[in-house]
């Protein structure tokens, strides 16, 4: 393990396909209260409660196998003293010297939770003081000052956590969680104000061949370049997000079916004509769908997915709008 990773200010372990720990850094050992020789070879599940083991089996392992990464997974670890340690877990699966390896990065949440609990306590103190403000005015003023200080600290922490939870770590664009929130917001705008919007779902053609031929690092480089290209091409009014793997989705506010298909075709050409240094050529298939009064969050996603499936069936490197196939 590299020295900077071993001494990193966050917890790190590397596990094999079965969940046994191969490597662990100093910070994680300090949190857990173990020596390195006690930790290496231990199964990851031994650090979890029964409830968290269930979540680990039903979410973590299926997701890491399907998408090769897990982001923002909240769990509680149990250290050698039996104490609970709340953490956010990010993980990435890759093949090292022919062997699948899963690297796990942990960020402690205890300080943030303690801040929130402290803030709630201070707010209760404020409410109590307000009932008898003439006698407690001086104390109340101190409490307000303390609340303002704590709120500033929490706001700073929340901003960092919000950015962390809404951003795809590889491409630095919005992730699935942020997209789902934005989709709900645009559906509300359509319902309340009649503002139409469309979705584009973009999938890289034969991306598995890129990874198999050039390696996963080259595949990651392609994903980063494509995210930048899509962001540049769609303009500031629109929002591109990575759903996971090689799939991207774009929300197009104020865009009807015809306009969304025109933009999709433009993206096909932009991707095909771009300079891909490692792989030389890349194409994408795009499905499009426009929200209507009969749609829901589920149906609009189903429609755009069907359109993408048809685009792939039509030979790839093309765009299809759902209204063309229904």
What are 251-278's pLDDT values in tens digits?
999 999 999 999 999 999 999 999 998 8
Residues 6+ positions from 81 with CB-CB distance below 8 Å: 33
Per-residue pLDDT tens over the stretch 188-235: 999 999 999 999 999 999 999 999 999 999 999 999 999 999 999 988
Higher-confidence position of 238 and 197: 197
Give the DSSP H or E segment for 302: helix 297-313
pLDDT band at 184 (very low <50, low <70, confident <90, very high): very high
Confidence check: pLDDT of 143 > 80: no
Evaluate whether 52 touches 31 at the Cβ level (below 8 Å). Answer: no
Domain 176-324: which topology?
A: Alpha-Beta Plaits (3.30.70)
Give the model's pLDDT for residue 155. 76
- Return the CATH fold of 3-108: Beta-Lactamase (3.30.450)
Domain ranges of the chain: 3-108, 111-166, 176-324
Higher pLDDT, 6 or 259: 259
Q: At 43, is the pLDDT very low, low, confident or very high (cuts 50, 70, 90)?
A: very high
- Distance, CA of 245 to CA of 224 (rounded, Å): 12
- Residues noted as catalytic: 246
């Amino acid at each position: 393990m590299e020295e900077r990773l071993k001494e990193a200010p966050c917890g790190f372990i590397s596990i094999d396909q079965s969940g046994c720990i191969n490597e662990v850094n100093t910070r994680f050992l300090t949190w857990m209260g173990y020596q390195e020789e006690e930790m290496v070879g231990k199964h990851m599940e031994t650090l979890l409660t029964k409830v968290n083991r269930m979540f680990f089996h039903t979410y973590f392992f299926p997701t890491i196998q399907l998408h090769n990464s897990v982001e923002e997974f909240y769990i509680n670890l149990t250290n050698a003293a039996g104490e609970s340690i709340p953490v956010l877990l990010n993980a990435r699966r890759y093949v090292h010297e022919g062997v699948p390896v899963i690297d796990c990065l942990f960020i402690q949440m205890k300080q943030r939770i303690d801040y929130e609990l402290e803030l709630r306590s201070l707010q209760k103190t404020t409410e109590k003081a307000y009932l008898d403000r003439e006698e407690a005015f001086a104390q109340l003023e101190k409490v307000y000052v303390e609340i303002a200080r704590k709120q500033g600290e929490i706001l700073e922490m929340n901003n960092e956590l919000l950015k962390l939870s809404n951003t795809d770590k590889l491409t630095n664009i919005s992730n699935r969680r942020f997209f789902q929130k934005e989709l709900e917001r645009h559906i509300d705008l359509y319902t309340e104000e009649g503002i139409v919007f469309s979705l584009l779902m973009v999938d890289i053609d034969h991306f598995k061949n890129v990874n198999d031929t050039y390696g996963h690092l080259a595949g990651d480089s392609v994903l980063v370049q494509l995210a930048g290209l899509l962001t540049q091409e769609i303009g500031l009014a629109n929002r591109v997000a990575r759903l996971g793997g090689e799939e991207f989705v774009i929300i197009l506010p104020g865009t009807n079916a015809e306009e969304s298909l025109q933009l999709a075709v433009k993206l096909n050409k932009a991707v095909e004509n771009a300079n891909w240094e490692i792989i030389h050529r890349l194409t994408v298939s795009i499905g499009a769908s426009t929200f209507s009064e009969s749609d829901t969050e589920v149906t609009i996603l189903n429609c755009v997915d069907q359109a993408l499936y048809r685009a792939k069936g039509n030979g790839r490197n093309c765009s299809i709008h759902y209204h063309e196939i229904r």
